[in-house]
Structure formats: C-alpha cells, structure tokens
Amino acid sequence: MRRSSTAARSPVSVPRRITAAASPRWTRRASSRCWTIDAATPRNAWCPADSRGGAGGTMGTGLDLPLDQVLVGDCIETLRRLPPASVHAVFADPPYNLQLKGELRRPDTSVVDAVDDDWDRFTDFAAYDAFTRDWLAECRRVLRKDGTIWVIGSYHNVFRLGAAMQDLGFWILNDVIWRKANPMPNFRGRRFTNAHETLIWAARGPESRYRFNYQAMKALNEELQMRSDWFIPLCTGSERLRDGAGGKLHPTQKPEALLHRVILSCTTPGEVVLDPFLGTGTTAAVAKRLGRRFLGIERDPGYAAAAASRLAAVEPVPEAAALALPSKREQPRIAFGVLVERGLVPPGATLTDRHRRWKAVVGADGTLRCGAAAGSIHKVGAELQAAPSCNGWTFWFLETRDGRLRLLDELRQEVVAQGG
C-alpha cells in the first residue's frame, strides 16, 4: 500500500475505516435533531457540543453559537439554528450538480473514478437553484454585517451560485480562479483541459466594511499585489485522506493551501469561520492551525468523524502571521504558437535557417510546413536535417522586411519579458 509517510508529516491519523467500534458516541443535543462532535477533544473521546470544556463552547456571547465543532446534520436545517450575524467568514464548497452519463475511460482503458455520489444529484436546475438559495440565504443571515463569504464551484454550477448570491444581496468582491497545477486531462480530446475552479468572494452587501488583509496577500506574492488567479496543486499524496482500502476518503477534498490563502485573506486570529459543507474538514483544520475559531456542518457521519479526528491532531501555529508560504515563481514556458497568436510571427510568414537552406511556412496554429514535413518548429527542423532532434527556437529565423534574420529565440525573449 502507498502512503507510508503520511503520519509523519501531517499527523491526521484518520481511522482506516469508520467502524462501529471506532465511531464516536454520537450525542443528541436537547431539542435538536443535530448531532455534534467536539473536534478539539482527543480522538475517540467525544463529547457533545453543549459541554463547555476544552476549546468548544459558545464564545461567551450569550448566543448559542457552538464553536470549534463539527455539527452533523442537514446543512440548511442546522444553519437555521445558528444565531444571526455571528460568524466572520463563510467558506462553502457545495455539491456541483455534475451530470455525468456513462463511465469515462482513460486512453489506457482504465476507468476514471468520478463523482457520482447521491449528494450531488439534483433532478433539474430548478431543484438545484432552490437548494442553493436556501443555504445561501441562511449563510447570509448567520454572517456578520462586515463578514465575507467564499463559494467554490465549476462551470457546472458556479454561474447559478453567483447569480443566486447577487439576487440575495451579496456584493461580489472578486471571482478568484484556482488554477490547478495538475488537473486531469481531457481524455477524449473534445474540450479544453478543465484546469481550474472558480471561487466567488463576496461581502454581505454593498455597504459591508469587510476585511481584506492586503499586506498579507502581497507578502504571499513576493511583494506584488495578489491577483485573482491562484496556482495551487490538487490535494494529493499524504495530504489526501484515505479510506480503509487506500482509496480517497472523500471525492473532492480541497488542498489546504487553497484554504490557507482564503482564510488568511479575510480573517484575523480569533475570528469564526463557518463551513456549511465541511466534508473531511479542510476548512476547519486550516482555520484551527491559523488560530481562527471554526464551525463545520456535515451531513455524512462518516465524513464528520474523519474531520473530527483530523482536527484533533491539528496544532495551531504560534503566530498565524508568520505563516506566509513562499510562492513559487512560475517559469513562463512559451509556446511558439503564442508568438503567432500575438502577431510577432504572423501566420503565413516564412521561416528560414541560418544558411537559408530551407524555407518553411507558419500556420495559424503554430505549426510549420516545408514540403512534406509538417509539425512543430522542432519536429520540422529535425526532419529537414535528418537529425533525431532539433531546437526550433535556435534553428529557425524570421526574415524581416528589411532582409535581416531574427532568431525565434530572440522573439521569444520579448514575450518572456512581458511576463509570458
């Protein structure tokens, strides 16, 4: 089995399988259908939310706001029991309403393990919209006047989410693109690789005096303003929680790096972050580590138990502000086609080699043609020279109007200088 080093790096120690024996003793709250788990209690030593010990509690507000806990129950029903204007931030990763037909196979005929869970099935857009409006409205009620909300989705659902948010009075501040470092390819070659997801960041309303930790975000981005496109890898490897068979415990676990940036951007230590679709607890785990309070709602007892177990092992950092992850500067990798798109090498232009021995015509898609040879600048260069390989960048020249030859690599440098 893989993942031998998991425990060392991230001492999550999720039970291999949530069995009856290992399960928490679920405790029913008085006058409530909502089960709770105090996430700060040690593993296998559960206590109900209304116990006042440990990190859990109601924050001394007089309001019945359970804190640092996983509430097990229906999202909307549970939200309705929370007091109004009580949380500083919401992060929500709702069902995406994917509409998959058959199975999908990779070119090597292996089967893709897709999201086909019951919780992601809705009869139609109307049903999805109604559900969306309901939980968003409750989140808005629970959100403090100057709080903000983050919602994540893909093209299947994000337009409905965003429209519903605007209709409910939320004031969109940004849409943020999570660019995936390692997305799953499009196996049939019928679309662009679906390489991102969209987060919507919104204030409760247009007048909200929301928090934005500008300097923290700038520091995370090598002293440049943080942009609305974030490049973050998928949650894989030892960070990913596993079930008993070594498979993924949850189909859509989000990377902690994503939540780190979200929580750091709009909250300060001690504030409360609510996640109405907690899943396996990424939001809560990062919030706890960054010294924030959290409150999670999860319908599935198995996921809730895994989240609680994971949370119990999270140690808050001494100083949240010190946690600026150095961001990797991305190396711009320039494709020849980009020079064509941008008009530096127009389609139909002729390229030649240093000795003007060959001439090749540039296609609109960045391919070259020279006699029977067609393909990339590298491939055609190699074929003409009968060489096993060729660096097209340093082989091909563009003839300028005045008869000078300009090496492609020179032109590429101009694009690199522009940032790619």
Subset of 228-247 contacting a second copy (CB under 8 A): 228-229, 231-233, 239
Residue 47 to residue 313: CA distance in whole angstroms: 16
Joined together, the tokens standing for residue 350 give: 């002729």
Using the rule CB under 7 A, is 235 a contact of DNA? yes
Q: Enumerate residues 5-24 that contact a second copy by CB under 8 A.
A: 5-6, 8-10
Burial of 189 (0-12, 13-18, 19+ CB in 10 A): exposed
Contact of residue 247 among a second copy, DNA, none (CB under 5-8 Å per partner type): DNA
Question: What is the rounded CA–CA span in Å between residue 120 and residue 127?
Answer: 12
Q: Within the chain, what is the greatest distance between any pair of CA atoms? A: 87
Our finding on whether 121 is near DNA (CB under 7 A) is no
Binding mask 267-306 for a second copy (x = CB under 8 A): ----------------------xx----------------
d(CA 283, CA 300): 16
Pick from 63, 100, 114, 335 the residue near a second copy by CB under 8 A: 335
State the Cα–Cα distance between residues 241 and 249, nearest whole angstrom. 6
- Any contact of residue 205 with a second copy (CB under 8 A)? no
Question: Encoding tokens for residue 172?
Answer: 């969109």
Counting Cβ atoms within 10 Å, is residue 172 exposed (0-12), middle (13-18) or buried (19+)? middle
Among 317, 373, 405, 407, binds a second copy (CB under 8 A): 317
Backbone angles phi, psi at 224, to 5 degrees: -110, 150
Shortest distance in whole angstroms from residue 352 CB to a second copy: 16
Please report whether residue 133 would count as binding a second copy according to CB under 8 A: no
Our finding on whether 369 is near a second copy (CB under 8 A) is yes
Q: Looking at residues 349 to 388 of the shown chain, list those that interact with DNA (rule: CB under 7 A).
A: 355, 375-379, 382
Judged by DSSP in three states, 115 sits in: coil
Question: Smallest Cα–Cα separation from 69: which of 26, 123, 118?
Answer: 26
Is residue 201 at the binding interface for DNA, with CB under 7 A as the rule?
no
Q: Residue 61, interface with a second copy (CB under 8 A)?
A: no
Scanning 20-28, 29-37, 133-141, 218-226 for contacts with a second copy by CB under 8 A, the matching segment is 218-226
181 contacts a second copy (rule: CB under 8 A):
yes
- Measured CA to CA, the distance from residue 182 to residue 208 in angstroms comes to 36
Contact between 220 and a second copy (CB under 8 A)?
yes
Residue 222 contact, options a second copy, DNA, none, Cβ 5-8 Å cut-off depending on partner type: a second copy
CA distance 400 to 350: 10
Stretch that binds a second copy, among 40-48, 176-184, 277-285, 303-311 (CB under 8 A): 176-184
List 20, 31, 333, 403, residue binding a second copy (CB under 8 A): 333
The two structure tokens encoding residue 225: 């303003």
201, 263, 283, 308 from 290: Cα distances, Å:
20, 8, 11, 17
Residue 268 as a binder of DNA (CB under 7 A): the answer is no
Distance CA 52, CA 128 (A): 38
Confirm or reject binding of residue 387 to a second copy (CB under 8 A). Answer: yes
Q: How far is the CB of 364 from DNA (least distance, A)?
A: 16
Question: Reduced to 3 states, what is the DSSP secondary structure of residue 380?
Answer: helix
Cα-Cα-Cα-Cα dihedral of 236, 239, 240, 243, to 10°? 140
Amino acid symbol at 347: P
- Please, what is the minimum distance in Å from the beta carbon of residue 328 to a second copy? 9
119 lies in the binding site for a second copy (CB under 8 A): no
Nearest to 274 by CA among 142, 141, 120: 142
Name the residue with tokens 């296609």.
Answer: 363
The answer to the question of residue 333 lying near DNA (CB under 7 A) is yes
**Partner touching 196 among a second copy, DNA, none, CB below 5 to 8 Å by kind:** a second copy
**In terms of CB distance, is 305 or 380 closer to a second copy?**
380
Q: For the CB of residue 315, give the shortest distance to a second copy in the complex, in Å.
A: 9
Residue 58 CB, shortest distance to a second copy, in Å, is 27
The distance of closest approach from Cβ of residue 332 to a second copy in the complex, given in angstroms and rounded to an integer, is 8
Q: Where does this chain touch DNA (CB under 7 A) — which range of 52-60, 107-115, 257-265, 299-307?
A: 107-115
Interface with a second copy (CB under 8 A), residue from 300, 385, 399, 407: 385
Under the binding rule (CB under 7 A), the answer on residue 94 touching DNA is yes
By a kind-dependent CB cut-off of 5 to 8 A, residue 229 interacts, out of DNA, a second copy, none, with a second copy
H or E stretch including 390? none
Radius of gyration, alpha carbons of the chain = 26
Q: Decide: is 13 part of the binding site for DNA (CB under 7 A).
A: no
CB 334 within 8 A of CB 412: yes
